[in-house]
Amino acid sequence: MKHRLVVSSSILRYASTDGQGETKDQRPPRAKLVSKVHEPITYQADKSVVENWKVAMKAMDEMMQDIDAKKPKQYMPNKFKEMKEYNDTDGKVVVSKMELTPVSQAPEVPALKVQNLNNSDYDLRNLTGGKLTLLLTCFKNSGFDNLLGWRESFEKAFGAKNPMTQVVQLNIIEEWYVKLMPGMIRNGLRSKTPEEHHNLTCVHFGRCDDFRAALDLNNSFVGYVQLVDAKSRVRWTAAGTITPEESTVMNLLSSKIISEISQKPRK
């Protein structure tokens, strides 16, 4: 009896024999699961949006500055704030400039009734016109003590009797109770002021907030120094105790104003 070897087609389908008798699995490899690392999501703003925002903010800042510039200046008394500023800056509440303020931007000295130590009455605006004036202003003894060095430097450079220059000292006494004893205040100032300076050392009794605001005299504890040209325009401002650098700058700028005054008007 002959026997037949029957091979299932399903077996032949998945197995084959190579030349070395080894069997290879022809099934496709299984897919492997790989964990995916997610990158952090970042938002990149459109460049045009950012630039437009910057332009808008700059325009807003300029508009606010323009509004502030058009507002009338005001002096708001705050003695605690002023004292702190005076102490924090060692009296240098103003950063003096290296150049004169242009004529078109220079504030004019406002009208203010004053009386000199010889009991003569003046309007400060008229008193500062016609020549270069070194205007020294103080409100308290701390400011009074700041002013001597500025006067000495100015007079050393230009002389005490130069026909082109003058030094005017303004003492503003704001305390209400001082009005009850003005004579005592004048006598005290006379005792501290050389007699040759009495004529141009002036006193104003009472508040003068508009005057202070116009000339940016915002600190009651410091002495202010201002160069005023022949048309009563304030061209330069400093404050506190004089430094060698400020002395040099003040005298240089004073010479420039004298040169302006000396120039003959064009026909």
- Dump pLDDT digits (tens) for 209-225: 999 999 999 999 999 99
Cα atoms in the 13 Å half-sphere on the side-chain side of 5: 1
pLDDT at 264: 60
Evaluate whether 80 touches 226 at the Cβ level (below 8 Å): no
| Mean pLDDT, rounded, for 190-206 | 95
- Averaged pLDDT of the chain: 84
pLDDT at 46: 58
Share in percent of the chain as helix, strand, coil (round to 5): 40, 15, 40
- Dump pLDDT digits (tens) for 136-170: 999 999 999 999 999 999 999 999 889 999 999 99
Write phi, then psi, for 160 (nearest 5 degrees). Answer: -80, -15
pLDDT at 6: 47
| Mean pLDDT, rounded, for 4-20 | 46
- Dump pLDDT digits (tens) for 36-53: 555 555 545 556 777 777
Question: Is the pLDDT reported for residue 242 higher than 90?
Answer: yes
Q: In what order do the strands lie in the sheet with 113-116?
A: 121-123, 113-116, 201-205, 165-173, 132-138, 224-228, 234-239
pLDDT at 25: 55
Question: Is the pLDDT reported for residue 195 higher than 50?
Answer: yes
pLDDT at 147: 96
Per-residue pLDDT band for 107 (boundaries 50, 70, 90) equals very high
Given CA atoms 61, 63, 66, 67 in this order, what sign does their dihedral have? negative
Per-residue pLDDT band for 205 (boundaries 50, 70, 90) equals very high
pTM greater than 0.85 (yes/no): no
Question: Is the pLDDT reported for residue 266 higher than 80?
Answer: no
Amino acid at 232: S
Question: Is the pLDDT reported for residue 62 higher than 90?
Answer: no
- Dump pLDDT digits (tens) for 69-83: 556 777 777 889 999
| Mean pLDDT, rounded, for 4-11 | 47
CATH topology of domain 79-262: Glutaredoxin (3.40.30)
Q: Where are the domains of the chain?
A: 79-262
Per-residue pLDDT band for 182 (boundaries 50, 70, 90) equals confident
pLDDT at 2: 46
pLDDT at 41: 53
Instruction: Give the Cα separation of 20 and 27 in Å (integer).
Output: 20
Per-residue pLDDT band for 85 (boundaries 50, 70, 90) equals very high
Going by C-alpha positions, the residue among 255, 261, 230, 258 that lies closest to residue 129 is 230
